[in-house]
Amino acid sequence: MKTHTLIRLSGILAVTGAMLAQQPQKKVEGARDLFYFGATQKDTLPPIQKTSAPKAPRPGVTQATVSPGPVGAAPVGAAPVGAAPVADSYSTLHLGFRYTVQLVNQTTSKAQAVDPDREFKKGECVRLEVESNQSGYLYVLSKQSSGGWLALFPSSEMPDESNVADPGVKVRAPQGYCFEIDNPAGTETLFVVLSRSPRDFFELYDAIKSPAPTSSGNIPASAVQMADASRMNSAVEKMAKNFGTRDLIIKKVAPAPENKETDYSVYVVNGSDKPSSTVVKKVEIKHK
């Protein structure tokens, strides 16, 4: 009788163990957790250079069956508008960044993180602080009242400024400055890009680094700041469409009442289980 009981008990345990094994394991969830879960050491990024556009597949051959080439090969050209981003050797899991909106005291130059949803007032000076969890190229743009985009980081006025973001290193945009809130009341829009693949952002890079020439072929002084507005707008629109909300997980961290440290970080991470090479986010700053 005891032998039968032991056999039945071991059978129950075996079935229970099998059922538990079939249950999905608990996954790391939430933008903040994924940000740190996906963090890596600094690595070498590919050089920024113009790349050729991808060739159209032969009749009867789908894009999925076209050979991607050897690992480490130079990435191909930008994907068409609306097309899903193509993974390459620079794609990684859970690429992301966190940012804080900082209020800068123009007298003391001291800055403090504030609630990104607060309404700013005329005369206040604001900047963005961004930290990536992996090596990547960082771009921060500001939308102007004219509808064009102005590069805050890297600056169009500093063509040799490096925009490489190393993991764990905080980058301020604009670097060494802040932008002052002015009338009329409304919403300032910033566009943040973190990318490991030049294929994804070369058009944006080229628009920032290549100011628009005048009809006479000369470069106007104003173009040093505004670059080529039409090319910049086109590049931003393409990136927003291709990468804007795809698989993003976003979390705003509000400090606990008893916590003296003010964090106010917003985490933006690709939550997909598929590798990605680029993450973008529009940041809105409201003022009255």
- The dihedral through the CA atoms of 271, 257, 172, 230 has a sign that is positive
CA R_g for the chain: 24
Q: What are phi and psi of 265, to 5 degrees?
A: -75, 150
Q: What are phi and psi of 272, to 5 degrees?
A: -70, 155
Average pLDDT, the chain: 76
Among the residue ranges 31-40, 130-139, 210-219, the one predicted with the least confidence is 210-219
60 pLDDT higher than 50: no
Q: Please count the other Cβ atoms lying within 10 Å of the Cβ belonging to residue 174.
A: 18
Q: What is the pLDDT of residue 3?
A: 47
- Asked if residue 111 lies in contact with residue 104, where contact means CB atoms within 8 angstroms, the answer is yes
278 pLDDT higher than 80: yes
Residue range 131-159: average pLDDT?
A: 87
- Asked if residue 127 lies in contact with residue 196, where contact means CB atoms within 8 angstroms, the answer is no
d(CA 216, CA 218): 6
Domain ranges in the chain are 31-41+93-287
153 pLDDT higher than 60: yes
- Asked if residue 94 lies in contact with residue 271, where contact means CB atoms within 8 angstroms, the answer is yes
68 is written with which tokens?
């991607």
56 is written with which tokens?
């159209």
236 is written with which tokens?
């931003």
| CA–CA distances in Å: residue 36 to residues 82, 129, 218 | 30, 17, 48
Q: What pLDDT band is residue 258 in, cutting at 50, 70 and 90?
A: low
Q: What is the pLDDT of residue 217?
A: 42
Q: What are phi and psi of 280, to 5 degrees?
A: -130, 155
Q: What pLDDT band is residue 91 in, cutting at 50, 70 and 90?
A: very high
Q: What is the pLDDT of residue 55?
A: 46
Q: What is the pLDDT of residue 259?
A: 54
- Asked if residue 143 lies in contact with residue 191, where contact means CB atoms within 8 angstroms, the answer is yes
DSSP the chain: -HHHHHHHHHHHHHHHHHHHHHSPPPPP-SHHHHHHHT-----PPPP----PPPPPPPTT--GGGS---STTPPP--PPPTTPPPPP-TT-BTT-EEEEEEEEE-TTT--EEEE-TTSEE-TT-EEEEEEEESS-EEEEEEEE-TTS-EEEEETTTT-TT---EE-TT-EEEESTT--EE--SSPEEEEEEEEEES-HHHHHHHHHHHHSPPP-TTSPPPTTHHHH--HHHHHHHHHHHHHHHSSTTEEEEE----TT--S----EEEEE-SSS-BSEEEEEEEEEE-
Q: What is the amino acid identity at position 159?
A: P
The percentage of residues in the chain with a pLDDT greater than 70, rounded to a whole number, is 66
- Asked if residue 162 lies in contact with residue 138, where contact means CB atoms within 8 angstroms, the answer is no
- pTM score, whole prediction: 0.73
